[in-house]
Structure 1
Amino acid sequence: MSMELRTLMAQVSQYAGIAHKEDIARLAPQLPPLPQGWHPNGDDAAAIPGPEGYSLLAMEGFLNAFVEQDPWFAGWCGVMVNISDIAAMGGRPLAVVNALWNHDIDHAQQIFAGMSAAAETFGVPIIGGHTNLRANQAQLAVSILGQAKQLLSAFAAQPGQVLVAAIDHRGAFRAPYLNWNAATQAPAQRLRGDIALLPEIAERGLASAAKDISQAGLIGTALMLLESSGVGARIELDAIEKPQGVSWADWLCAFPSFGYLLTTDQASLPALLGLFHSRDISASAIGTITDDKQLWVRHDAQKVQVRDLGSQPLMGFRPESDTASAP
């Protein structure tokens, strides 16, 4: 490895996706308390308890430059990333709505074409939204409704568990961003079957915690999961499977179309990895969960602390045990 680990981790930590997550901490303390018994804020989707599990609600907004430069793919991602959020919670997607602001009808139609293509591919209908074609710039946000019988949650990681990364490598970066696209050319039935793995994992109890790898990349997503659970982790860099020809800096900051971090125990690890491998999805144990709220990455003799979440929070969402003991 030509790059020093400390240099690599500094580069990854400065990636804009992680900085965006830090912005959340400025607003999180102002959120009102949730109803008694509800799932805490800070997960990939809101989980509203009901008589047969949980209703799931999530939303994604998109960078204006991305929407302007690549409208069809922005529309596709509007549906796809919301579906990933529902899957990360162990849920099945039901329907999406959107809010689209634009000033160019042709550009807006490209966005809608991408959304429609993704909705048809994944079998998730678009059932409404809000449209304004008299705005001064293109803006897109998409929200989704889902249902889960059994939750996966970023708040459920436990010390001693194994950290697993599962990412579909059958794609390529879509310039100019680090979006790893393994979806737009894939068969619809394969994509639907891949997404269905996550609720199966939840219902079989093969993992407890999960989070989809977001714009913050693998390391940033790991930090969000660890912060929510009030734990730390030790990650082995060489255990992370990486496509040939892709640099570590790009891969650790990539936003994959199918990518998840999960935690599980040693007894369930073979079955969990086997499910992903049966669908030709790369999956491996990349580290262990610890009780110290620190994320460390190791490569050969090098070892670097990425962040101490105990002294330097990321999003500001804390597990209920920490909240209960706070003054």
Structure 2
Amino acid sequence: MQLNTLLTELREYSGIQNKKDIAAIKGLIKNAYRHFDHPNGDDTAAIKTSTGYDLFATEGFLSAFVAQDPWFAGWCGVMVNVSDVAAMGGHPTAIVNTIWAQAGERTNAIYDGMVAASQVYQVPIVGGHTNLHTQDTHLCVSILGKAKRLLSSFDAKPNDELVVAIDLRGEFRAPFLNWNAATNAPPERLRADLALLPQIAENNIASAAKDISQAGILGTCTMLLESSGVGAEIELENIPKPAHVNWHDWLRAFPSYGYVFACNSDNADTLVATFAQRGISAAKVGTVTNTPSINIHADGQSCQFWNIEEEHLTDMTIKNNALHIREQHYA
């Protein structure tokens, strides 16, 4: 494996490069969220309440994906949203959706997938918006949740351990690099696996977390570290990976259950064991540093993956937000 070639190609992967769209609109919305007490740019919005936080998130889906696999797109509409809520240390409570499409089998399949996932994850679909008179198919799903204590992309600290947890009990769902460990799993197991995240938050086992998204494992690490204003040294070969999958595909994969955490080194073994007890692969993969650079090590090679200071990804950072949540929530 030539590490430099692997990472050079990965940096140009659309799943990562498309995250720069967030930075492109950041200035347009900066005055819209300044009165809230949690920075914009996390897995969900978080609004403080008397008992914790209300969580809000939304996900849109590529038309090509919806057209190719409409049932799974509907399923993912629910699944990725509940995963975002879990990444914040929360429990999902309700879902709404928006579908612009034509009436017929494809649209029916989208709804069938959403209903199936709603039943499996026991999160009700309570409303939405439907237009069945459009040529193209567009799907967006939004979610509400609640958390007692937050996990956040904004609270990774130097000397924290980076931990990656992924459910490897699945397979790619062709033709995309979606690692599906959900649709054939027992519903009770899926719900209990998601419930680990609020337990981790409430027991203060980790301080920072992010759901592994279309940006893949290293792209998601980059977003978390950028938000916290830190960097990391990462051991690539420590990342949980199916033995038969190559790194080129795995670093672009979107796992149905996958998270990146930052935690105090004293808690890292406990965090790994928490997932291992449920058959989920987890490992310490690196250390958070003060330097705004993400460096990857593998097979005796070392290479810089991302210089956060020189190249923004989402540009949603502590420095760019009016509020600094570390003292608020994790003092």
Q: TM-score range by the shorter chain?
A: over 0.9
Q: Is the 8 A contact 2:163 2:286 kept in 1?
A: yes
Tell me, what secondary structure is at the counterpart of 2:127?
Answer: strand
Task: Report how far residue 19 of structure 1 moved.
Answer: 1.1
Q: Is the 8 A contact 1:233 1:295 kept in 2?
A: yes
- 1:32 matched residue in structure 2: 30
After superposition, the Cα gap between the structure-2 partners of 1:100 and 1:243, relative to the gap in structure 1 and judged at 3 Å, is same
Tell me, what secondary structure is at the counterpart of 2:205?
Answer: coil
Counterpart-to-counterpart distance in 1, 2:82 and 2:260: 16
Task: Report how far residue 32 of structure 1 moved.
Answer: 3.2
Q: Is the 8 A contact 1:90 1:198 kept in 2?
A: yes
Farther off after superposition, 138-147 or 37-46: 37-46
Task: Report how far residue 270 of structure 1 moved.
Answer: 1.7
Counterpart-to-counterpart distance in 1, 2:65 and 2:35: 39
The within-5 A match list for 1:191-206 is: 191-206=190-205
Farther off after superposition, 141-150 or 263-272: 263-272
- 1:312 matched residue in structure 2: 311
Q: Is the 8 A contact 2:59 2:140 kept in 1?
A: yes
The within-5 A match list for 1:1-327 is: 3-33=1-31, 34-320=33-319
Counterpart-to-counterpart distance in 2, 1:202 and 1:323: 24
Counterpart code for 2:180:
N
Task: Report how far residue 321 of structure 1 moved.
Answer: 7.2
Q: Is the 8 A contact 1:155 1:225 kept in 2?
A: yes
Counterpart code for 1:161:
D
After superposition, the Cα gap between the structure-2 partners of 1:324 and 1:144, relative to the gap in structure 1 and judged at 3 Å, is closer
Counterpart-to-counterpart distance in 1, 2:301 and 2:183: 38
Farther off after superposition, 62-71 or 263-272: 263-272
Counterpart-to-counterpart distance in 2, 1:322 and 1:227: 12
After superposition, the Cα gap between the structure-2 partners of 1:160 and 1:246, relative to the gap in structure 1 and judged at 3 Å, is same
Counterpart-to-counterpart distance in 2, 1:106 and 1:296: 47
Q: Is the 8 A contact 1:101 1:138 kept in 2?
A: yes
Counterpart-to-counterpart distance in 2, 1:131 and 1:57: 21
After superposition, the Cα gap between the structure-2 partners of 1:80 and 1:324, relative to the gap in structure 1 and judged at 3 Å, is closer
Q: Is the 8 A contact 1:181 1:256 kept in 2?
A: yes
Task: Report how far residue 269 of structure 1 moved.
Answer: 1.2
TM-score in terms of structure 2 length: 0.95
Counterpart-to-counterpart distance in 1, 2:218 and 2:320: 24
Percent identity of paired positions between Structure 1 and Structure 2: 52
Runs of 4+ in structure 1 displaced over 2 angstroms? 32-37, 320-325
Counterpart-to-counterpart distance in 1, 2:164 and 2:315: 24
> What's the RMSD between the two structures over aligned residues?
1.3
Report Cα offsets for 1:232-261 as digits up to 9, x if no partner: 011001111210110001111100000000
Counterpart-to-counterpart distance in 2, 1:322 and 1:43: 12
Counterpart code for 1:253:
R
Structure 2: unaligned runs, 5 residues or longer: 325-331
After superposition, the Cα gap between the structure-2 partners of 1:10 and 1:236, relative to the gap in structure 1 and judged at 3 Å, is same
Counterpart-to-counterpart distance in 2, 1:232 and 1:15: 20
Aligned residue-pair number: 323
